[in-house]
Structure 1
Amino acid sequence: MKSKRIMALALAGILAVTMLGGCGGGDSANGNSDKGSSEGKKLTIVMSQRDEWLSTLDAAAKAAASEMGYSLNSLDSQSDANKQIQFVETARNNGEKAIIVNLVDPNTAKDIVEAAGDMKVVFVNRPPADTSILNENVVYVGSDEMTSGKFQGEWLAEHFKAQGKTEIKYILLNGILGQVSTTNRTKSVLQALKDNGITAVEASAPLACDYDRAKAMNQIGPLLSTGTKFDCIIANNDAMALGAIEALEQQNIDPSTIPIVGIDATADACAAIQSGKLAMSVFQDPKGQGTGAILAAINLIEGKPINEGIDYQLDTANPNIEWVPFEPVTADNVADYLNR
């Protein structure tokens, strides 16, 4: 697969630089760096929270930093935007040259940049609400959310047209309202259905489930109890899709009879695709984003293009954005993603 080739190239590049530089590694979930790290080669990543997907991104960032001879201090904002800004200020006061931020709130990006002062800033996975703040010192590494929902919509359109249907009713499970990822995943899946000849109408008002499995299960359960008619369930991520599966099973409804689509291709989601309970997902590469963010930070420090050393493309309209591609995952190719 393309992403495997990308990751192989990235890791090979990291290893080559490490061997040439002769630097020791560094890894710190609590701010403790390895003794082998070069003096001053310190980075901080400030996570919005911890979940399966973000934890994988964080681990990949640690591995990449260590290979490049940097210590990485990983901090958890616990969904507190003010705490995240304080962490950034602390890194600046400690004299660090760059910081990686997984935003709690996309509307606080400008505050993050101000708190960073002279530090280089790499936003990862969650883009600023206003991308005009990006420049040669402030960049974004992530995946284009307008393609994630597009893959969902294209799969659903093909599925229903094969059944002779051009009109469907859907239940939508939204992520965190106001986030760019939630907005664009929703917008792109509905646009893809329309572009592919499917008239899609709401079976109910969208359910805001905050990307949370338990919330999705609890919110969709009452709809099932009232006998709401629907043709498919569209979830902004896999956790909510899996929550929907649990809700269906609690109502003795076979989830394999209703197309449910998610995003992320987590391990649990891939297993659900294999079992037929989840129709499809869209792989969002946490290792690619974590590695890409570290390389972007180091490249900024060294005055290089942010994607130097890794085979990811810059946005055609904004060279301060680096895209890690999404990939559709179905029963036909899920085996390729089980250990990603």
Structure 2
Amino acid sequence: MTSWKKAVLACAVVGLTCSAAQAKTIRIGAAVYGLKGEFMQMWTNALKAHPAVKDGTVQITVFDGNYDALTQGNQFDTMITQKYDAIIFVPIDKAAGAAAVAKAAAANIPVIGSNTRVSGDKLTSYVGSDDVVAGRMEAEAIVKAIGGKGNVVIIEGPIGQSAQIDRSKGIQEALSKTPDVKVLEHKTANWSRAESLGLVENWLTGHPGQINAIIAENDDMALGAIQALKSKGIDPKKVPVAGIDGIVDGISAVKRGEMTTFFQDSQAQAQGAMDVALRAVLGASYKPRSDIWAAYGEKMPWGDGTAKSYTVPWTQVVPANAEEILKRIPKSH
């Protein structure tokens, strides 16, 4: 281990701030698919709130991929050229992101995946939630809400992103067991509330009175669907809507009885990835500094910080736990 790594580790282990005189700052890049949606804003806020970032041990640079795989590839090239110590990666495209990860691995830069997955086996580790489970859970909630019979529409995430692929798989698994539920339409709205609003308005016009429920693969799109229902004079409480993420507006809609959602813990994903990245950079003596590991305990054990995958559990948002979950949402710093 190099001398500067030992110095940083000594500070990190005892929770002290490392000054420039004590050690070289660790540079970590976070390549995220895009920052327009609320969930990735929450994720970024959580990353910046990690103790190692707040005390200056880590200098974090967030790269906005603008929902484009080529942009993310170019950002990886920049981080490799500038010799970043580690990269945290939230890819827009499961397949396209693999080449970027392979380049970084060849340059001996650890890459920790978070939130969305990438193909191949070059990631150092992955910290995220099981999106197949999420898709299954929201579809089951909708099936239950309509009594196992009726017509649904499905609003998908960006085609080719792992969350879209896996949530769609989970949704189809659940719906395949309910032959009396028919899918009238399915199309992407790219995680966008505005795109979802227009899409669902068109579906409501094309299938007047026939849509009994709406399955959206994230909260922003679910909220767009609720807006579309209201714009057509339809009470959202009469057309069940499900989303995923547990963003602030989504939780507020749950409290109003307008939708169902499942909380995706952005803090656990982002800060968990940061701890795993620091373990990869600093070695076996590094102890995780985020409190998320203690919060989840045996549901997501740290071990020695070198597991290939860490699965963050889902929590269904209901009126009874809504306020408690709101307190867990990272604020901007």
Instruction: Report the TM-score range of the alignment, normalised by the length of the smaller protein.
Output: 0.7 to 0.9
**1:238–1:264 CA contact under 8 A, matched in 2:** yes
Instruction: Say whether 1:235 aligns with 2:216.
Output: yes
AA at the equivalent of 2:133: T
Mapped partners of 1:37, 1:281: distance in 2: 46
Q: Which residue among 220, 225, 230 is the counterpart of 2:200?
A: 220
Pick closer, same or farther for the CA change 1:79–1:36 going to 2, 3 Å: farther
Deviations 1:83-125 (Å, cap 9, x if unpaired)? 2222222222222221111112221232112331210011111
Pick closer, same or farther for the CA change 1:104–1:190 going to 2, 3 Å: closer
Hey, what does 1:44 align to over in structure 2? Answer: 29
Mapped partners of 2:101, 2:148: distance in 1: 47
AA at the equivalent of 1:177: I
Q: TM-score, normalization: structure 2? A: 0.82
Pick closer, same or farther for the CA change 1:269–1:98 going to 2, 3 Å: same
Mapped partners of 1:74, 1:36: distance in 2: 25
Hey, what does 2:228 align to over in structure 1? Answer: 247
Hey, what does 1:96 align to over in structure 2? Answer: 84
Q: What is the CA distance between 1:38 and its match in structure 2? A: 3.7
AA at the equivalent of 2:53: S
Which deviates further from its counterpart, 64-73 or 231-240? 64-73
Pick closer, same or farther for the CA change 1:154–1:307 going to 2, 3 Å: farther
Q: Which residue among 118, 121, 137 is the counterpart of 1:132?
A: 121
**2:255–2:319 CA contact under 8 A, matched in 1:** yes
Hey, what does 1:188 align to over in structure 2? Answer: 170
Instruction: Say whether 1:120 aligns with 2:110.
Output: yes
- State the SS of the aligned residue for 2:166: helix
Which deviates further from its counterpart, 84-93 or 186-195? 186-195
Residue correspondence of structure 1 range 12-51 to structure 2 within 5 A: 18=12, 20-24=14-18, 38-50=23-35, 51=37
Hey, what does 2:70 align to over in structure 1? Answer: 82
Mapped partners of 1:86, 1:321: distance in 2: 26
User: How big is the alpha-carbon RMSD for the aligned residues of Structure 1 and Structure 2?
Assistant: 2.7
Unaligned runs of 5+ in 2: 1-9, 329-333
- State the SS of the aligned residue for 1:173: strand
**1:296–1:307 CA contact under 8 A, matched in 2:** no
Q: What is the CA distance between 1:308 and its match in structure 2? A: 5.5
Tell me which stretches of 4 or more aligned residues in structure 1 moved more than 6 Å: none
Deviations 1:134-193 (Å, cap 9, x if unpaired)? 4xxx22111110111222133234333xxxx33221111111112221122122123234
Pick closer, same or farther for the CA change 1:114–1:183 going to 2, 3 Å: closer
Identity of aligned residues (%): 25
Unaligned runs of 5+ in 1: 1-15, 26-34
**1:77–1:84 CA contact under 8 A, matched in 2:** yes
Deviations 1:184-220 (Å, cap 9, x if unpaired)? 212212323445x5632112x2022111111111011
Mapped partners of 1:217, 1:180: distance in 2: 23
**1:307–1:322 CA contact under 8 A, matched in 2:** no
Mapped partners of 1:273, 1:175: distance in 2: 21
Q: Which residue among 234, 253, 275 is the counterpart of 1:272?
A: 253
Mapped partners of 1:167, 1:113: distance in 2: 44
Pick closer, same or farther for the CA change 1:158–1:241 going to 2, 3 Å: same
Hey, what does 1:29 align to over in structure 2? Answer: none
**2:32–2:90 CA contact under 8 A, matched in 1:** yes
- State the SS of the aligned residue for 1:91: helix
Which deviates further from its counterpart, 251-260 or 100-109? 100-109
Mapped partners of 2:263, 2:219: distance in 1: 10
Instruction: Say whether 1:59 aligns with 2:53.
Output: no
Pick closer, same or farther for the CA change 1:250–1:194 going to 2, 3 Å: same
Q: TM-score, normalization: structure 1? A: 0.81
Mapped partners of 2:68, 2:46: distance in 1: 23
Q: What is the CA distance between 1:313 and its match in structure 2? A: 4.4
- State the SS of the aligned residue for 2:237: helix
